[in-house]
Amino acid sequence: MLKNNRKNYHHGDLKTALVDAGLSELEEKGLESVSLRSIAARVGVSHTAPKNHFDGLRGLLTAIAAVGFERHAQEMSSGVEHLPPGKERLKAACNGYVRFALSNPELFKLMFSSTLCDASDPELKKAAWNSYGILRGVAHGLDWDKADAPGSPWRTEWMLWSMVHGYAMLLIEGQIRRNDDGTPLFEMDGLLPDFAYREAELEKMPPPFEGRGSVEI
Amino acid sequence: MLKNNRKNYHHGDLKTALVDAGLSELEEKGLESVSLRSIAARVGVSHTAPKNHFDGLRGLLTAIAAVGFERHAQEMSSGVEHLPPGKERLKAACNGYVRFALSNPELFKLMFSSTLCDASDPELKKAAWNSYGILRGVAHGLDWDKADAPGSPWRTEWMLWSMVHGYAMLLIEGQIRRNDDGTPLFEMDGLLPDFAYREAELEKMPPPFEGRGSVEI
DNA sequence: GAGAAAAAATTTACAGTGGAAATATGGAGC
DNA sequence: GCTCCATATTTCCACTGTAAATTTTTTCTC
């Protein structure tokens, strides 16, 4: 007996349907309240049907997180293409990072939860790296007080990443006061300290969509 | 029938016993796996006994988080007392912030989860403010590129807090590579950018244990 | 086309979970 | 002795994720 107005016994594309339903359930009910059963019910399928496509709830959440990282990357790079390399591009990308988190708080929390997601999943890994690559790309050549010690190419990246990520997290969790309309007192670019680029490196800055990560952190 | 080798029907101090048991369960089983029932069982009482002392699981977790913030504050201020005001004191406190997160990852995540905790709880609020007050105290007078715009006394604080918190979070969630022994590549003080203090403000820096927060963010 | 094999979905069962309600226990005060 | 009340227990319910056996449909092979 078919629960939905589904014509066929086989759904056809249950995998993506479940991910879509999961994305909706996530923001509606919150990360702690999503359940495999409710997601399955939303699609109109039995609660054990997902087993054929995902490795349990964790597997489904992992797939959802992967989509999250794709959208995250998109939000960071949207409107960045036509900005000149350097400060402006960096600030725009950082704003995108935080904007995404504020628009999709539950998804954002899921994406960075190593207990709810399987961080070793290839698709998630790829999507996460893609996303981080955007940040890494716009920060290329960043000269934050002559930061990088020899052999430590990540210091500046991590410094920037930590700040953006921490700000997003603290905002989401209600730790930092916001305006009455819910917008943050500062956009991310208003929080960033003064910095400069090494001019020599600047022209080597990759275009925003090619800064994809391929190196292990 | 008494489950434990408890003498009395009435436990005596079940409230603190539950919090203690919860703290243990938390790091042993992980944040997503702690249950009211397992905590109660650990103490040797029925799973509904906590109801008399806490408002459900959420209430118990809130109380646990409050203890977490107390320890967090302690970790930040330990060894800070005898350092001169300024850079050294700030760096030591920041190291403590991250050190605590790495030593108590599950507790740390709980403390900053607005869904798992009741952020409006007075005791949690107080403990969280105490903790933030430490950071705020050692950062008093911090001059990060003449940061604070008029009317925005929090900008520098938030910048610093975001970075420290983000770094802790990213480390905990396994997003940032660590050394083989699990220690981070950089301690927090090694990640901080160069900064200075406004000398005039420096002498007004409160001692580390008095920088308690009393202002609403 | 027929029949076997594989894939996808179902039903059923089970051990957990948190919470609500009714009940039992024991200590404090009189 | 007694009652009152805080505390803890038992019982029950709705819900969760997972596993196993089963049914249904598609696909592949002949």
Domain range annotation of chain B = 1-53, 58-210
Across all strands, nucleotide nearest B53 (CA–C1'): D7
Distance from CA of A24 to the nearest CA of B (A): 18
Other CB atoms within 10 Å distance of the CB of residue B50: 23
Q: Does domain B1-53 have CATH number 1.10.3470?
A: no
Residue A105 confidence (pLDDT): 98
Residue pointed to by tokens 């105290």? B137
Least CB–CB distance from A217: residue in B30, B114, B176: B176
Query: What is the secondary structure of A76-138 as a DSSP string?
Result: HHTTTTTSPTTHHHHHHHHHHHHHHHHHSHHHHHHHT-TTTS-TT-HHHHHHHHHHHHHHHHH
Task: For nucleotide C11, give the residue with the nearest CA to its C1'.
Answer: A46
- With a cut of 90, say whether residue A19 has pLDDT above it: yes
Burial class (CB in 10 A: 0-12, 13-18, 19+), A44: middle
**For B126-157, b where at least 16 C-beta lie within 10 A, e where not — what string?**
ebbbbbbbbbbbbbbbbebeebbeeeeebbbb
Q: Note the pLDDT tens digit of each residue in A104-154.
A: 999 999 999 999 999 999 999 999 999 999 998 888 777 665 555 555 667
CATH tag, A8-53:
1.10.10
Asked whether this chain's domains A8-53 and A57-202 adopt the same fold, the reply is: no
CATH classification number, A57-202, choose in 1.10.1040.10, 3.30.930.10, 3.40.630.10, 1.10.357.10 = 1.10.357.10
Assess whether B48 (CB) lies less than 7 A from strand C.
yes
Burial class (CB in 10 A: 0-12, 13-18, 19+), A38: middle
Q: How many CA atoms lie within 13 A of A38 on its CB side?
A: 13
Q: Note the pLDDT tens digit of each residue in A23-50.
A: 999 999 999 999 999 999 999 999 999 9
CB < 8 Å to B113, chain A: 173
pLDDT tens by residue, chain B, 217 residues: 344 446 566 677 899 999 999 999 999 999 999 999 999 999 999 999 999 999 999 999 999 999 999 999 999 999 888 898 888 999 999 999 999 999 999 999 999 999 999 999 999 999 999 999 999 888 877 766 555 555 566 788 899 999 999 999 999 999 998 999 999 999 999 888 877 777 666 666 555 444 444 444 4
The β-bridge relationship of strands B142-143 and B196-197 is antiparallel
Residue B215 confidence (pLDDT): 40
Please say whether the beta carbons of B154 and B161 come within 8 A. Answer: no
Residue A209 confidence (pLDDT): 44
Is residue A183 helix, strand or coil? coil
* Rg, Å, chain A Cα set: 20
Considering the domain delimited by B58-210, tell me its CATH architecture. Orthogonal Bundle (1.10)
Interface-testing mutation among A163, A169, A172, A178, with chain B (most B C-beta atoms within 10 A): A163
Distance from CA of A195 to the nearest CA of B (A): 9
Angle subtended at Cα B180 by Cα B179 and Cα B184, rounded to the nearest 5 degrees? 25
- Nearest to A76, CA basis, from A179, A189, A154: A189
